[in-house]
Every structure is written in structure tokens, then in C-alpha cells.
Amino acid sequence: MKYLIVGLGNMDIEYDGTRHNVGFEVVDTLVKKYEAKIQHEKLGDMANFKFRGRNIYLLKPSTYMNRSGKAVRYWSEKLNIEKDQLLIIVDDLNLDFGKIRIRAKGSDGGHNGLKDIQQNIGTDYARIRIGIGDSFHKGQQVDYVLGKWNENELKELPTILTKVSEAALSFAFHGLQTTMNQFNS
């Protein structure tokens, strides 16, 4: 069985370490832990490794966040990934920092990356939303989302990335329902 785990973010170096790139950080955590080799491929950086007999493919789309759907559709088709084998990992400013929410399907919740994915493949795919909080003043949403983690967030971030990485692998090994029961916070 094979699974495609997609972390959303923006490739440019200026976005490294920003809240909006937390999906990329989860992929990087998995790449490091499982010593996978990341390759620059069409529409994204790809890596793969085996986990308990499953083939895990990791994708960091090289399209900008708001065009992620093209990369997700391309790699899903190329790898023959069914929607129940696809997991998208994304930031969510509507959730408190560090909170995670796993869903089988749903709306884009105002997230432009998810909106583009839904325009390309529909809404029936699993997603993990990682709370980045909403500690910004009116009109400062873009600056906040594209801003770097603060000192307190950076202290907690490794624990959050580990938890989300474990949830992603649980999705591949135990299935969505068990993963939701165990990891939704």
C-alpha cells in the first residue's frame, strides 16, 4: 500500500521558518527521522521511505501555496494515489497554537492552498490542520501568517512537529478514524 503525505508551504527561502510553512516542516521532520532522500522533481520536492510495509511518499509542492492543487493532482495521478491514501498538512490560524485537527474531508476554511486543492481534486481527502493561533491585530493577518515563529512558539514547535509526524504515519498504518480518535486535540 502507498500513501502520499503533502505538507503545504512556499518554497522561497524568505518563507523558511514561517507559520505558513509548518506543513513543509512536518515533511522535513519525517525526511530527517527516516533518513529519506529528498529529490527536486516536477512540481515539488519528493521523498519516499518504507514504514511498516507501506510506501510513504512525501511532497513539498514547489508551486506557491495558492497553487498547490496542481502539484497534488499531478503526483496523485502519477503515483496512482486514491483519495483515501492522500493526506494534506496545513497551517490553520483558526486553531490555537499547537492544536491539531484531523478531518476526512471538508471545506477550505478560508485557506487558499486548500481552496486550490479542492478546485483540482475536490474535497474528499484527509487533512491535518495545525493551529498557528491568531495573535495579530486587525489587518495584520498576512504579516502574521507569513511571519517567523516567536521565541515561545519555537520552544514548543519540535513537540508539535513530532506529534503531527506521528499522526501522519498513523494515518498510513492505522487508518483515518483511529488516527482522528488518537490525535485530535
List Cβ neighbours of 180 (8 Å cut-off, separation of 6 or more). 102, 103, 104
Domains in the chain, number: 1
Rounded CA separation 128/157 (Å): 16
Q: What are phi and psi of 127, to 5 degrees?
A: -145, 150
Domain interval for residue 11: 2-183
Q: Which of 20, 40, 137, 174 is catalytic?
A: 20
Answer whether 48's CB lies under 8 Å from 66's CB.
no
What is the predicted pLDDT for the residue at 109?
A: 72
Q: To the nearest whole percent, how much of the chain has pLDDT over 90?
A: 78
pLDDT at 105 over 70: yes
40 is catalytic: no
